[in-house]
Each structure stands twice: as structure tokens, then as C-alpha cells.
């Protein structure tokens, strides 16, 4: 019985660990908003990736009337879809090269417009 429990614990630990650590750029500020992003899968790769743009305003996440459009160098502008009232905006986009592509975020809020650019890979990320 103890052997089975030990084996289960090893499996759980190995499932939780990752050989690749996902890199994420620092959040950027636009007006009163702090913006950062995450991806699914956790590490950006060539092909389709889901981008989650996360917007905070002074600790609050629900921001009515905020429009978020995103694109990569490999894709056209697409409106990101709000994920409830969480301040999370989702969209899947094509990435051809994580070193050459970047994530472009276009924001529109009460007549104000702005654009931010995020690198998809750290300068230290090895090329494949």
C-alpha cells in the first residue's frame, strides 16, 4: 500500500513540474490600466496560441466599455472576447516565429485609443 501511495505522489509531482519555464514580459501601463498577457499553451510556440490579455484598473478587473483588439505579426487584428467580468480578454492567434513576432494590443476606452506591443520571447529564449 505504501508503495502505491509513493508512486502516486511521484506521478503527481512529475505532472506538476515542467521542464520549460514559461516567460512573460512585464506588465505595461496605459492610462489607468495595467495590462499583461498569458498564453495557452503556457509556452508560446509556432502555430495557434490562445492569448489572454489581462487588464486591471486600480485593483479592479471589471471595466465596462473597454474594447481590446489583438494581433501578432503573423495575423490580422481580431477583437478579443471578454471572459465574463474578470478583466480577461481571449483570442487565438497564429504565431509563425516567437522571436520575430510580437503581440500587439489595441485598446479603446471612452474615446481614447492606444496600442501596446509585447515581445513573445525573452532575448535569452533559444531559437528552435
Q: Find the mean pLDDT for residues 51-58.
A: 92
| Chain segment 23-45, per-residue pLDDT in tens | 789 999 999 999 999 999 999 99
3-state SS, residue 15: helix
Q: Find the mean pLDDT for residues 51-56.
A: 95
Task: Just give the CATH number of 21-119.
Answer: 2.60.40
As given in the structure block, the three cell numbers for residue 21 are: 519555464
Domain ranges of the chain: 21-119
Q: Find the mean pLDDT for residues 7-14.
A: 46
Would you say 47 and 72 are in contact if contact means Cβ atoms under 8 Å apart?
no
Would you say 93 and 70 are in contact if contact means Cβ atoms under 8 Å apart?
yes
| Higher pLDDT among residues 11 and 109, named by residue | 109
b/e per residue 100-112 (b: at least 16 CB within 10 A): ebbbbbbbebeee
pTM for the full model? 0.79
First vs last C-alpha separation in the chain: 44
Amino acid at each position: 500500500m505504501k508503495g502505491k501511495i509513493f508512486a502516486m505522489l511521484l506521478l503527481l509531482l512529475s505532472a506538476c513540474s515542467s521542464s520549460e519555464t514559461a516567460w512573460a514580459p512585464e506588465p505595461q501601463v496605459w492610462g489607468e490600466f495595467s495590462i499583461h498577457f498569458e498564453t495557452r499553451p503556457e509556452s508560446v510556440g509556432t502555430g495557434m496560441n490562445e492569448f489572454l490579455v489581462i487588464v486591471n484598473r486600480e485593483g479592479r478587473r471589471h471595466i465596462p466599455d473597454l474594447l481590446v483588439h489583438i494581433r501578432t505579426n503573423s495575423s490580422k487584428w481580431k477583437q478579443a472576447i471578454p471572459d465574463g467580468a474578470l478583466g480577461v480578454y481571449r483570442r487565438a492567434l497564429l504565431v509563425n516565429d516567437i522571436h520575430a513576432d510580437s503581440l500587439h494590443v489595441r485598446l479603446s476606452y471612452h474615446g481614447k485609443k492606444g496600442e501596446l506591443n509585447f515581445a513573445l520571447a525573452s532575448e535569452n529564449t533559444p531559437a528552435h
